[in-house]
């Protein structure tokens, strides 16, 4: 049962995004990608700009990572790393088409003084990691099954000093955790049970009895690939039913159109990495870049 709170409070966030100036669907590494379906590059950039402006308009800081030639998926900035309390656990991509993205993210963080933990295990950053700072004293939910190896979960726990709960994804349409589950505030999640193994469903039900439960239609519309500040939930405009469920739970949906970015298998969250500095490093994260 979802607990409805009248006082859902937003928290100022810091984000990293990469413009889709090189975006194209040139190969297929997830079920949503079709190289025969053309991308409108101009429209993709307009939609991305609107997403960035929406986040900034809600009072959040948005940094921009420059795109690089030959990396058409760099727009999906969430996959490049995962940060908690000033430490960054770097990505190591599953597919060779995306491998070089990790170096671009590494350079961004190191140049700005973040502590960077190099990965030995294959993982795709916030695509498969979700941080809940006030749930059970601070916990990480981690996905495996398609992109991130289970060994990365233990590696992330050692690097970040937070307990990690492993969840197994079983539906290839939901190849990353962030298309099957989302943090809607610092201790509450929304998720689609059918994306997970029966055991993982049981774990989620035990840990989060007040979760917002999505159905298959919500997930297929990328309704869980969202970004929330604890009150305002920026969500794909096609996911109207999911937006209604979030509104019923006391959140404020903020729809954005991302039809072109969906062609690569991503939506709002895929385009946005959250930067989580230490208390001492918050000024560093918010500096002009």
Under the banding of pLDDT at 50, 70 and 90, the label for residue 42 is very high
> How does DSSP assign 8-41, residue by residue?
------EEEE---TT----S-SSTT--TTS---H
Task: Return the pLDDT at 289.
Answer: 40
6 located within any domain: no
Does the pLDDT at position 3 exceed 60? Answer: no
Q: Which tokens is 229 given?
A: 């500040």
Q: Per-residue pLDDT for 178 more than 80?
A: yes
282 band by pLDDT with thresholds 50, 70 and 90: low
Helix residue ranges, H only, the chain: 41-57, 101-111, 151-160, 198-207, 216-220, 240-248, 259-262, 282-285
Does the pLDDT of residue 12 top 70, yes or no? yes
Residue 175: inside a domain, yes or no? yes
What pLDDT, in 10s, does the model give residues 44-74? 999 999 999 999 999 999 999 999 999 999 9
Predicted confidence (pLDDT) per residue in 251-268, tens digit: 999 999 999 999 999 999
Q: What's the mean pLDDT in 180-196? A: 98
Phi, psi of 264 (to 5 degrees): -95, 5
| Strand ranges of the sheet holding 14-17, from the earlier edge strand across to the other edge | 61-64, 14-17, 273-275
Q: How far, in whole angstroms, is CA 130 from its chain's centroid?
A: 7
Render pLDDT for 117-169 as a digit per residue (tens, 0 to 9).
Answer: 999 999 999 999 999 999 999 999 999 999 999 999 999 999 999 999 999 99
> Taking a C-beta distance cutoff of 8 angstroms, is the pair 94, 82 a contact?
no
Assigned domain for 286 exists: no
SS3 66: coil
Distance CA 67, CA 267 (A): 18
For residue 287, tell me if it sits in a domain: no
pLDDT of residue 279: 72
CA gap 131, 135 in Å, rounded: 9
Sole residue written with tokens 């969250």: 269
What are the structure tokens assigned to 7, written together?
A: 């006082």
Range of the domain at 30: 14-280
- Report, as an integer, the average pLDDT of 221-241: 98
Tell me, rounded to whole angstroms, the distance of Cα 199 from its chain centroid: 23
Tell whether 5 is covered by a domain: no
Percent of the chain residues topping a pLDDT of 90: 93
- Residue 3 is given by DSSP the state P
Domain presence at residue 60: yes
**Residue 4's pLDDT band (cuts 50, 70, 90):** low
Of 153, 176, 232, 271, the active-site residue reads 176
Domain count, the chain: 1
The answer as to whether 157 is a domain residue is: yes
Residue 224 lies in a domain: yes
Mean pLDDT of 192-203: 98
CATH code (residue 246): 3.75.10.10
Q: Please state the separation of Cα 167 from the chain's center in Å.
A: 16
270 flagged as catalytic: yes
Across the chain, mean pLDDT equals 95
User: Is the pLDDT at 33 greater than 50, yes or no?
Assistant: yes
């Amino acid at each position: 049962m979802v607990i409805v709170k009248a006082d859902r409070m937003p928290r100022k966030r810091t984000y990293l995004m990469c413009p889709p100036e090189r975006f194209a669907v040139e190969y297929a590494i997830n079920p949503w990608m079709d190289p025969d379906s053309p991308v409108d590059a101009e429209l993709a950039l307009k939609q991305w700009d609107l997403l960035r402006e929406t986040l900034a308009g809600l009072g959040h800081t948005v940094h921009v990572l420059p795109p690089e030639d030959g990396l058409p998926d760099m727009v999906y900035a969430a996959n490049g790393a995962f940060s908690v309390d000033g430490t960054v656990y770097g990505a190591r991509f599953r597919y060779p088409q995306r491998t070089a993205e990790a170096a671009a993210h590494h350079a961004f963080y190191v140049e700005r003084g973040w502590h960077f933990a190099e990965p030995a295990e294959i993982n795709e950053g916030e695509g498969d990691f979700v941080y809940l700072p006030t749930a059970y004293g601070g916990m990480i939910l981690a996905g495996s099954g398609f992109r991130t190896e289970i060994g990365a979960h233990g590696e992330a726990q050692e690097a970040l000093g937070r307990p990690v709960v492993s969840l197994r994804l079983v539906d290839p349409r939901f190849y990353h955790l962030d298309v099957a589950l989302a943090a809607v505030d610092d201790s509450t999640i929304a998720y689609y049970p059918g994306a997970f193994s029966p055991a993982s469903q049981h774990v989620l039900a035990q840990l989060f009895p007040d979760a917002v439960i999505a159905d298959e239609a919500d997930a297929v519309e990328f309704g869980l690939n969202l970004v929330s500040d604890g009150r305002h939930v920026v969500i794909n405009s096609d996911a109207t039913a999911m937006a209604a469920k979030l509104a019923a739970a006391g959140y404020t949906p903020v729809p954005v159109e991302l039809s072109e970015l969906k062609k690569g298998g991503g939506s709002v969250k895929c385009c946005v990495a959250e930067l989580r500095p230490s208390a001492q490093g918050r000024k560093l994260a918010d500096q002009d870049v």
